[in-house]
Amino acid sequence: MRIGVMFGGTAYRGGLGDLVARAQDLEARGFPTMWVPNVFSVDAITACAVIGCQTERIELGTAVVPTHPRHPTALAQQALTASAAAAGRFTLGIGLSHPAVIERMLGLSYARRAQHMREYMEVLGPLLRGDPVKFEGDEYRVNFGLELADAQPVPVLIAALGDQMLKIAGRHADGTILWMTGPRTIEQHIAPKLRAAAREAGRPSPRIVAGMHIVLTANAAAANQQVSEMLARYRQMPSYRAMLEIEGSDSPTDLALVGDEKVLDAGLQRLRDLGVSDFEASIVSTDDGAEARTLQYLESRL
């Protein structure tokens, strides 16, 4: 299981230059991957392109770009350009986002979500592989191609939680990128359905990227309280609440790794045992020195 780090979430206050510096530091430490969220700050794909020009080895991925606001041809063009900037080290993570963002903030329809993603991938998938696309659907009608001389095919991960989205990810994407999803849910719900869909489509074993909060601390009770307050809003989102129900948990803190090295080691090992391909670490600064301490711990486990 590869260990990567996510920087740039809703609590992030740094700028683009800071993301570049963090990526360079991760690369120097030997981390294989850095993930950049696409929330209410920098554009994640543009950030990855800029970072890609100033790094050499580290994989750069988005976690994740909402599909509704961007036409799949525009997203493909952005992704292929980022891949060219990063010399093929770019992975595109996409997702549906949530009604609060798509409907209430952006005024777009959030109906027929599975059909939206199926059609989206029918257009996006070929373009990311360097092929032209001709598609006639209910939402998209596209006859289009792209030519980027120095671009390489771009892997795509779908933030898939429900049954239909897992089928789409298995059949049309390179895997899934998860958030607010615990090990029991991965074992019983995510992994078997995703892998079955990939097998049926004759695709390779899919990548499973598990994003979780993590902090190395001697005061787990206080840290868990802070994490609980940070994640409280996620319980109001139906897709994440459904994952908590499958996990058999009423608290988002059960989906975080909080504690000493023994606790964190056990949590990471369980994910490895489940066949998770990537751990996406969102480090929580619960006290002075927590970020540096946790980053050093993760570096020692590479």
Measured CA to CA in angstroms, residue 43 lies from 18, 133, 181, 236, 290 at distances of 14, 26, 25, 25, 27
Q: How confident is the model over 179-204, as a mean pLDDT? A: 97
pLDDT at 165: 98
Amino acid at 163: D
What percentage of the chain reaches a pLDDT higher than 70?
99
Q: Is 17 exposed, middle or buried (0-12, 13-18, 19+ CB in 10 A)?
A: exposed
At 277, phi and psi to the nearest 5? -85, -30
109-156 pLDDT, tens per residue? 999 999 999 999 999 999 999 999 999 999 999 999 999 988 899 999
CA distance 250 to 273: 24
Both tokens assigned to 84: 């060219």
pLDDT at 80: 98
Q: Domains of the chain (ranges plus CATH)?
A: 159-302 (3.20.20.30)
Q: How confident is the model over 256-281, as a mean pLDDT? A: 98
What is the SS3 assignment for the chain?
A: CEEEEECCCCCCCCCHHHHHHHHHHHHHHCCCEEEECCCCCCCHHHHHHHHHHCCCCCEEEECCEECCCCCHHHHHHHHHHHHHHCCCCEEEEEECCCHHHHHHHCCCCCCCHHHHHHHHHHHHHHHHCCCCEEEECCCCEEEECCCCCCCCCCCEEECCCCHHHHHHHHHHCCEEEEECCCHHHHHHHHHHHHHHHHHHCCCCCCEEEEEEEEEECCCHHHHHHHHHHHHHHHHHCHHHHHHHHHHCCCCHHHHCEEECHHHHHHHHHHHHHCCCCEEEEEECCCCCCHHHHHHHHHHHCC
pTM: 0.97
pLDDT at 234: 84
For residue 51, pLDDT over 70 is answered with yes
- The sign of the torsion formed by the CA atoms of 80, 159, 23, 183 equals negative
Measured CA to CA in angstroms, residue 42 lies from 126, 165, 179, 201, 285 at distances of 27, 27, 20, 35, 21
* Residue predicted with more confidence, 229 or 171: 171
CA distance 141 to 108: 18
CA distance 263 to 216: 9
Q: How confident is the model over 48-72, as a mean pLDDT? A: 98
Q: Is 43 exposed, middle or buried (0-12, 13-18, 19+ CB in 10 A)?
A: middle
For residue 105, pLDDT over 80 is answered with yes
CA distance 69 to 65: 9
pLDDT band at 231 (very low <50, low <70, confident <90, very high): confident
Measured CA to CA in angstroms, residue 213 lies from 280, 286, 291 at distances of 9, 11, 11
For residue 15, pLDDT over 90 is answered with no
- Give every CB contact of residue 260 below 8 A, 6+ residues apart in sequence: 216, 217, 218, 220
pLDDT at 139: 96
Cα 181 off chain centre by: 12
CA distance 140 to 71: 9
Both tokens assigned to 74: 């525009």
Q: Across the chain, what does the average pLDDT equal?
A: 95
For residue 8, pLDDT over 90 is answered with no
pLDDT band at 11 (very low <50, low <70, confident <90, very high): low
pLDDT at 10: 62
For residue 252, pLDDT over 80 is answered with no
